[in-house]
Amino acid sequence: MCYFEDAMLDYLKNKKIVILGFAREGIDTLRFLRRLFPKKAIAVADKLEIKNLVKNDKAIESHFGKDYLKKIGDYDIIIKSPGIPPKTIKPFLRKGQIVTSQTEIFFDNCPGKIIGITGTKGKSTTASLIYEVLKKGGIKAHLLGNIGKPVLSHLFKAKPDDIYVCELSSHQLLNLKKSPQIAVFLNIYPEHLDYYKDFKQYLKAKQNICRYQKSSDFFLFNPDNKDVKKTSAFTKAKKIALSPKKAKEWGRVNLLGGFNLLNMAAAAEVGRIFKIPDKTIAKALKSFKPLPHRLEFAGTYKKIRFYNDSLATIPEATMAALDALGKDVETIFLGGFDRGLDFKGLAKRILKSNLKNLVFFPATGKRIWKEIIKLNKKNRFFHCLFTDKMKTGVAFAYKQTLPGKICLLSCASPSFGLFKDYRERGDLFKKCVKEAGRK
């Protein structure tokens, strides 16, 4: 049985629709619409030339290539992928058009309970932890959203008793007018400043996680992050301040880093909302396996320990990685796409560390190095390599890192430019490490 409101179906039936952005979410949106309207003309627009993805659907109107936005004014409804900034499409819009998203449609039509998780860092791990706790507690849960599982197609099987654990990025939250029944806000640091006008606008998007909650809802928040704590003041939901110290009570787990105590605390509190016994929660936390690219142990080769922390795309994440791994980190890979972030704090942390070898990727590699030089009052010496080749960087790491020490990929910058995404960067690091380690 499908729980869509008939009004929504009637409304969409007579509207001209364009799917803007045709990656993972866009493809899922097309599948969703095709199931509702098998023969309806639907448009797809993307800056990439990807006609092969829709060549078998004769009812598709395609707008691909550099001029992909020129025709979006011809449509009544634009279902936009989160990666396309609103400022990019604004000049092409006309009065009366509706710009919506997968997330908005899902929230408006999902019959089950939604648990939404956001934060600059820790979203995926926390969402996955919550999912595992619920599963161990015998609750039918689904893990969806920014973690890589588009939400719309799940509406066809959605039931009122189901629980949907949704990782939500700021882009997905941006235009929401409905908040999840259980919202988790972990932290916020400057990021995506190429997408938003400023940090204030980025924070405002994140705050939609709880802005429209009701008094019967729950808001779980990190009281140690000042902007998150401020956010808790304007939600109507029942507030639960997360305590990382309490998470230590669950015993030894497989997650490195003190920051993961906050993620565990969130999962435990959600479990308690659903009245899952503490013993069951503890079992779920202890059996949880870390997600790839998040302080992932990549192996020991030639007596050097390698860690892949490719998802560290902001300075705060890299600093947390250095704190987690301790004094044995001797070599680090830094740099990537430039979003205009401040690297002064990272430079200070590097100068306090035992690091000896620095591998820098463009474009932020040079900016990070300049900050280190500026603050290096004691003229501390580093072996440095500036490269755009992972293989070259890994060869340098093997040459310079002493046996028993750690080499860490934790770039403090996004991967775009050199790599498709953080997964490609992390996977290539692991591949090069393995290949060089066998020689």
Q: What is the pLDDT of residue 253?
A: 83
Do 6-100 and 296-437 show the same overall fold?
no
Whole-prediction pTM: 0.94
Q: What is the pLDDT of residue 1?
A: 38
Tokens linked to 223: 């009281």
Residue 302 CB partners (closer than 8 Å, separation 6+): 398, 403, 437
CATH topology of domain 6-100: Rossmann fold (3.40.50)
Q: What is the pLDDT of residue 4?
A: 56
**Reported CATH class of domain 296-437:** alpha beta
Q: What is the pLDDT of residue 52?
A: 79
CA-to-CA separations, 102 to 30, 31, 206, in angstroms, rounded: 11, 12, 17
Q: What is the pLDDT of residue 251?
A: 67
Closest C-alpha among 402, 429, 403 to residue 415: 429
| Domain 110-287 CATH (choose: 3.40.50.80, 3.40.50.720, 3.40.1190.10, 3.30.1490.190) | 3.40.1190.10
State the Cα–Cα distance between residues 288 and 332, nearest whole angstrom: 27
State the Cα–Cα distance between residues 155 and 37, nearest whole angstrom: 15
pLDDT by position in tens, the chain (length 439): 354 556 677 778 889 999 999 999 999 999 999 999 999 999 999 999 887 778 888 899 999 999 999 999 999 999 999 999 999 999 999 999 999 999 999 999 999 999 999 999 999 999 999 999 999 999 999 999 999 899 999 999 999 999 999 999 999 999 999 999 999 999 999 999 899 999 999 999 999 999 999 999 999 999 999 999 999 999 999 999 999 887 777 667 889 998 999 999 999 999 999 999 999 999 999 999 999 999 999 999 999 999 999 999 999 999 999 999 999 999 999 999 999 999 999 999 999 999 999 999 999 999 999 999 999 999 999 999 999 999 999 999 999 999 999 999 999 999 999 999 999 999 999 999 999 998 8
Q: How far is CA 114 from the centre of its chain?
A: 18
Domain ranges of the chain: 6-100, 110-287, 296-437
In contact, 182 and 113? CB cutoff 8 Å: yes
CA-to-CA separations, 150 to 100, 105, 166, 265, in angstroms, rounded: 15, 12, 10, 26
CA-to-CA separations, 236 to 48, 193, 210, in angstroms, rounded: 43, 29, 8
